[in-house]
Structure 1
Amino acid sequence: MNLLRVVFQCLLVSLSEGIDRHLCRCLSDIAKRHFSSRINLVISDNTESYTCHHVSTNFSRTLNHFNENSSGIDTQTWDLFLSDLHLSERWSLLLTRPNKEINTKYIADRKHGSYILVPGYGQIEDVTEYIRIQITNLKTSRDWNPRARFLIILTQSNNFTEARLKILEDIFTELWKFRVINVVILTRALKTKLGKIDVDEKNLPVFDAFTWFPYEPSAKCGEIRDAVLLDRWILQGKGNFLFNTSLYPPKIPKDFRGCPLRVSAFEYPPMMMRMKTEYGIIEYEEGIELRLLHQMARITNMSLLFRPPPADNGYWGNDLGNGSWTGLTGEIIRGYSDIALDNFWYRCHILNDMECLEPHFMDSAMWFVPCAKRYPRWTSITRVFEANLWLGLLSSYITVSLFMWLVVKIIHNISHPDNEAYTGIVQCFLNFWAVILEESAPNNPPNVFSIRFVFLMWVMYCWAVNTVYQTFLTSYLIDTGLQSQISSEKELLNSGMTYGIHKVLLVQIPHLASKHYPRRIDCVTFEYCQDRTAFKGDLAFVFSSLNMAYVIAERYMDGNGKPLICKFDEIISTQIISIPVIKGLPMIDELNNVIQNTKEAGLLEYWLKNVEYIAILASANDFSVPGGEYTKLTLEHLQSPFYFLFLGYALSLITFITEFISRWKQAVH
């Protein structure tokens, strides 16, 4: 028994002398077996000083500076490990330390593929705080990737007893806040047996590799923090893993067994429609993205938990200038929600704290203006001919009447015909006016060819003009036509009309806030600008063409089925519609697969047409125009003839009264 104890102590001494040599081999084995090549490998050392260099550009200076402040790992060992990584030329190496933002000048524009974290040397109980500081620093990089493979080295102390499981659980809890799951923690091995394998010179464990499975069992919904021993590095040969198992096995299940998916949304047709609240539970009854969300929930077997809409009309969110956001964007960044909906224009290129799923729609920002108003029906008579044609008719009437009077006068001087109907200029004007009104002349013209030829030509002219006039008058009585429609941004700016732009649009289209649009006002709500444009007609606004196509069909149609809000073809900005999610969402790959399959099946376009068609049918209940090929003329259609009739009556009455008063005055005198 004593001999066995002496042998065991000798083995421990040998192990202590070669621990750093085995650590180098262990780290190299993990990197070569599990870290994908040709991508960024980030090595973070938590010390008070800071350095950040790209290894490939200045390796020797970087290596020396990095090792001057090594975190409890032998400098020579660390040199060998970094040299091995560098000389392999398999990765683009980045060495960092906290307390400053990561310099990305030399980093390739791609996500980090793997991380090696070396917490600061000190009390083992403080390691969780060290790791939190390191992760917080790494998050500042645009290439931060919480779904990368992480390796945390905790080999600074051999006084890592059974309490290490509690410490590891605390580390996993902290990592879950950053949605880091693919992590392996390398610790010094306990001096115990491993299963039924005896502790001898060949299988004496040196390091233990721990990880966690937050969704096993999946019914716990990511609440599991238990540390699981995956493998052990042993002394066999030059050292190797005992089981040679994968240190980064799949951890995200296909079936989440009802785990909740927190969703931020607000009522925004046609994406999310008809919100209702029962017993404090928020639900939506219809919408394109709602159907897509139900597809995701059904395939992944997740339950949906909707949050209340953002307060203060936050909608998609605004930048407050201090790094925080309002609206749906703020809820995603702060981790209140896992996913956000509602026609979200892609903004993950400007925000590093969230990710976007596979794009599923294309949208356009366009100008929406009041539709051209119809001409008043009383203008139908005057609008049949333009002013120059009316002047032409009047000048023709005067010219022909004078010409007729001259011809009759000359004929009377030559032949003295018995008929003197057209010898006076007033008679010519009255007789020709009767022809214009399609009334018979009170007196027949003299039986002279020249006089009757002039009269016949005037009759033919008036017949042609009256035929055309009556034809177009009937058309205008039925359809008065539209006034001039604004059809370009240049016309809009020159029209003097006010234009409204909601502040959330300025995040995606900042040039709308320029001096080029001096009469811009803020749309406090979407409905305010839409109602003012539709019903007052004194405002234009910029908004999503996808949303407005539905809103116009649902709410802004007149009784004849014509839209009250119109757009012109100029596109201000084309936008990609994607669904933002919290950075590092574990099931992002499964959700992307659902979106891709839904797009390929053509379901999104089908749902959109279906929802718009239902909206058109619903608004058709208010249409007042009867079906059929013919239109019955009503008193409304004949406004202009009655206006002129009443005008004629008024003039006749005034003339009668004037004549009566004139005769009465003559009788008195």
Structure 2
Amino acid sequence: MYMILLTLTCVTVARAEVSTDVQEWHIVRCLGSISQRYFSAGETLAMSLHEGALHTSGRRSENFTNFGRVSIEIVGYISEEMHQSGTRSVFISNVFTDYNPTDWNSNHKPESYLLLTPSSCNHESDIVQSVRSQLKRLSSYHEWNPRARFVVTVMNISFKYNAEKLSQRILVELWKRKILNAIVLIPLTNTSQSQDATGTRRRSDGLIMEVPALGIYTWFPYRGPNRCSVVDEAVLLDVWIMEGEGNFVRNSFFFPKKAYDNFHGCELRVATRVKYYREENITQNSGNNTGVTFDEHFEIRILKLLTKSSNFTLLFLQHIKNFLEVKEESGNYTGYTGLLMNDEADIAVGGIIRTGVLTNLVDVTISYWKVRWQWYVPCPVKFPGWQSISRIFSLSGWLCIFLAAMLAHIVIVFLARFRIQENESFKRFVDAVLDVWALILGVSILSLPRTSPLRLFLSAWMCYSLAINTVFQAYLTTYLVDPGFEKSITSIEEVFTSGTKYGFSSTYFDRNFNDKADPKDLEILGNRIDCVDMVTCLLWTAKYRNFSTICNPGLVEYLYYGSKYSDKFRGYLLCELKEMPVLVTDLLMVVQKGSIFLGRLNEIIYRLVESGISTYLVKVSSETRKFFKAISIASKTLADEYHALTMSNMQSAFYLLLFGHSLGLMSFLMEMLYFKIHL
């Protein structure tokens, strides 16, 4: 394929010096008129030839020996006519060179295409093959635009043919590439074809006068339930009379609107995947595939609204495996992409998100739902019940209490020994310690103080003990009922600094950390684990609590409450970081490249989103209701309603009671042993 960018402002060649016949000259004039009327100034025009080279010699291509050639003079004059209304970038394409399609580097997609078939062909099939080859080459370019205006020009023909039938065959080839905005410029081969078009070329004696003319043909799809996407006939729009300067007879509009609001009940072939939700209402497919069923997912409901507004008849295709895959190892396209590219489906729906590879192969609608991808970390676990007492005060608080108790019995002994009339029990350290802890625990002491200084100190210590005891009992009861949770990861920075392993899918999320100038991004990519299996990564996070990963809330809810993996996740929790999403992807539908349906579908989806209907359909869908019910049941805690204190709640209290009884028993045995030895 040889591609030349011509920036032509003026081609100054005298028409008188051109050795070309009248028909070729009128073809140039006709194309110039079409260019001025329908090709905007400043746009990019792609001109395609089926030639081995651009020269005036008679060499033919070795690959297609039956094909003639288009002379450089004709190409020059066509280029001149293309530039009459202003400067335009023209790409001239030749299918017999070996350059890669990537050599066509342009910032703008062509808004119009001009295809020239070779002259002096021997068969209609040669002309059709020429158009097919040119379209195949043009469509391989990234700049390919099937929604542009196409003009296919059939040059001089040396055999008899039916212009309408040949135009129909050419239009069929265009429609295979989803090209609808197209016309065919073709010489009319006999008088009857000209007369049928004009109805004005009769002699005074009533005989038909032969008038050479060029016909302009197109076709109109979806004009009725039996006239949908099949090119059943070519419609003659206008005729260019090859007399004098030439002129159009009807001055019809050559590119009328063919994007309809009403598709008259024509079938829309839908590719969808087997939904992982078990629905209460399974809808039976209508049409030929009566054995196909599909789930009433919210995306299906949106699709039904779209097709109802456009008057389509839905035809659901058989479910296929690997629905979301794009390519097999062999290089063949598979999944819904393969169905669309092979013209086996018109639209695909079911958890499809926008990717760069996807938009190069098919056309995508606007988004009707946003999918948030968040960080998920291990949820904090509850503190053990036996830690309830130790957590009432901090370590420094406990140290202060014990230090105050030690100082208190020293002060008591000091105040008692300086007063002769004071009770002897307060002058002994052991008795003073017992009195201090008795007041802390809220029990009575053995004897009362007799002097004012000791009475004042013990009164102050009683107030302090009452405050400590009240706080202790209040927090002890709280922790017995709900011991609380350990500290967890609360920010993205803690994910990377906590020492816990983390990972995510390299295919989807590596590009979010691809700033090579940022050492933090390089460190993240260097330490991350590639999560090929999302279920395994989420199990590591929830069950083993040694991993952090990226997922979307909808998928997490599905895995927990609506999938075959629910048993594996039962009893284990995932916690979502409430920060900015790592990535927000668009949920959308896809159609064939250049599909006529795209504009109408986008228009309806835009209205559904703006009115909030798409959000409503998500909330009222049966799977969402089931999720909410399951979540509400699973999320109930001890604080949600009254619960009697059980052995599990009172665990730490019984540990403390056992410790006290053990200590008391040991003291009792030591006393008995002491008195037995000394008595």
Question: TM > 0.5 between the two?
Answer: yes
Cα separation, 1, equivalents of 2:202 and 2:506: 69
Q: Distance in 2 between matches of 1:159 and 1:620?
A: 78
SS at match of 2:270: strand
Match for 1:640: what amino acid? S
**2-structure distance, mates of 1:564, 1:96:** 57
Deviating more after overlay: 628-637 vs 363-372: 628-637
Q: Is the 8 A contact 2:385 2:649 kept in 1?
A: yes
The answer to which of 345-354 and 471-480 deviates more is 345-354
Of 592, 603, 612 in structure 1, the residue corresponding to residue 602 of structure 2 is 592
Distance 2:525 2:670 in 1: 59
Q: 1:422: Cα distance to partner?
A: 1.9
Distance 2:474 2:335 in 1: 59
Confirm or deny that 1:484 pairs with 2:496.
Answer: no
Q: Of 51, 72, 77, which residue of structure 2 is paired with 1:47?
A: 51
Partner of 1:421, secondary structure, is helix
**SS of residue paired to 1:398:** helix
Identify if the C-alpha distance between structure 1 residues 600 and 306 changes in structure 2 by more than 3 Å, giving closer, same or farther: same
Equivalence for 1:245: 252
3-state SS in 2 of match to 1:251 = coil
* 1:326/1:379 CA distance change after superposition, 3 Å: farther
**SS at structure 2 position matched to 1:571:** coil
Residues 652 and 338 from structure 1, CA distance in 2 versus in 1: closer, same or farther, beyond 3 angstroms? farther
Give the whole-Å Cα distance in 1 for the aligned partners of 2:587 and 2:108: 22
CA distance in 2, matches of 1:275, 1:518: 47
Q: CA 1:226–1:283 in structure 2 vs 1: closer, same or farther (change >3 Å)?
A: same
Q: Which moved more, 1:299-308 or 1:328-337?
A: 328-337
1:213 aligns to 2:213 (yes or no) = no
Deviation, structure 1 residue 552: 6.9
User: Would you say the 8 A contact 1:214–1:223 is kept in 2?
Assistant: yes
- Given residue 473 of structure 2, which amino acid in structure 1 is its aligned partner? Q
Confirm whether residue 646 of structure 1 aligns to residue 658 of structure 2: yes
Q: Note if contact 1:117-1:151 (Cα within 8 Å) is conserved in structure 2.
A: yes
What is the correspondence of 1:574-589 to structure 2 with a 5 Å cutoff?
Answer: 574-589=584-599
* Further displaced range: 139-148 or 614-623: 614-623
Give deviations 1:389-432, integer Å, cap 9, x for gaps: 01111111112122222332333xxx254x21122211111221
Deviation at 1:561, TM superposition (A): 13
Pairwise CA RMSD? 4.1
Q: 2:33 aligns with which of 14, 29, 33?
A: 29
Change (3 A) 1:518 1:405: farther
The equivalent residue for 2:22 is 18
Paired residue secondary structure (2:111): strand
- Per-residue displacement from partner, 1:144-195 (whole Å, max 9, x unpaired)? 1112111111123131413x55544443333222111222122221212223
Give the distance between the partners of 1:268 and 1:366, measured in 2 at CA: 23
Please say if 1:367 is aligned against 2:375: yes
Pick from 227, 232, 238: which aligns with 2:234? Answer: 227
Distance, in Å, in 2 between the alignment partners of 1:17 and 1:112 is 31
Partner residue of 2:89? 92
Do structure 1's residue 282 and structure 2's residue 282 form an aligned pair? no
- Going from structure 1 to structure 2, the CA distance change for 1:44 and 1:300 (only over 3 Å counts) comes to same
Whole-Å Cα distance in 1 between the matches of residues 300 and 406 of structure 2? 73
Is the 1:363–1:575 Cα contact (8 Å) retained in structure 2?
yes
TM-score w.r.t. length of structure 1: 0.81
Deviation at 1:79, TM superposition (A): 2.0
Aligned residue number for residue 627 of structure 2: 615
2:403 counterpart of 1:392? no
Q: Conserved in 2, the CA contact under 8 Å of 1:422 and 1:445?
A: no
Distance in 2, Cα, partners of 1:208 & 1:247: 12
Is 1:298 aligned to residue 295 of structure 2?
Answer: no
**1:79-120 Cα shifts (integer Å, max 9, x gaps):** 22211222421643222223434567763x333211101134
Query: What is the percent sequence identity of the aligned residues?
Result: 26
- The code of the aligned residue for 1:431 comes to D
Q: 1:118 pairs with 116, 119, 126, which one?
A: 116
Matched AA of 1:254: D
- Partner residue of 2:4? none
CA-to-aligned-CA distance 1:633-659 (integer Å, 9 cap, x gap)? 444332221232234345556666788
In 1, Cα distance between equivalents of 2:567 and 2:652: 26
Describe the shift of the 1:487–1:397 C-alpha distance in structure 2 as closer, same or farther (beyond 3 A).
Answer: same
CA gap of 1:286–1:576, structure 2 versus 1, over 3 A, is: closer
Matched, 1:263 2:270: yes
Structure-1 separation of matches of 2:570 and 2:327: 43
Moved more, 596-605 or 245-254: 245-254
Structure 1 residues 666, 462: closer, same or farther in 2, change over 3 A?
closer
1:254 to partner: Cα distance: 2.9
Structure 1 unpaired stretches of 5+: 1-15, 51-62
* Distance in 1 between residues matched to 2:450 and 2:675, nearest whole Å: 43
Give the distance between the partners of 2:669 and 2:453, measured in 1 at CA: 42
2:176 counterpart of 1:177 = yes
Q: Give 1:243 deviation, angstroms.
A: 2.4
Cα distance change, pair 439–302 in 1 and its aligned pair in 2 (3 A): same
Aligned AA for 2:115?
A: L
1:503, 1:319 → 2: CA distance?
A: 18
Which deviates more from structure 2 when the two are superposed, residues 330-339 or residues 640-649? 330-339
Structure 2 spans left out of the alignment, 5+ residues = 1-19, 62-66, 516-520
Contact residue 270 and residue 608 of structure 1 kept, 8 A? no
Inter-CA distance 545–627: structure 2 relative to 1 (3 Å threshold): closer
Question: Is the 8 Å Cα contact of residues 413 and 432 (structure 2) preserved in structure 1?
Answer: yes
Q: For the residues of structure 2 that align with 1:28 and 1:310, how far apart are their CA atoms? A: 50
Question: 1:436: which partner in 2?
Answer: 440
Give the C-alpha shift of residue 610 in structure 1.
3.9
User: Could you say if the C-alpha distance between residues 68 and 497 of structure 1 is closer, same or farther in structure 2, counting changes exceeding 3 Å?
Assistant: same
Distance 1:173 1:393, change over 3 A: same
> Is the 1:553–1:563 Cα contact (8 Å) retained in structure 2?
no
Deviations 1:122-163 (A, max 9, x none): 44322333222222222233331112111111123131413x
- Give the Cα separation in 1 of the matches to 2:543 and 2:321: 27
How many residue pairs match? The answer is 628
Q: Deviations over 1:217-261 (max 9, x none)?
A: 443431234333332221344212222222223334433233333
Match of 1:636 among 637, 643, 648: 648
Deviation at 1:340, TM superposition (A): 3.0
**TM-score normalised to structure 2 length:** 0.80
1:420 touches 1:446 (CA, 8 Å); kept in 2?
no
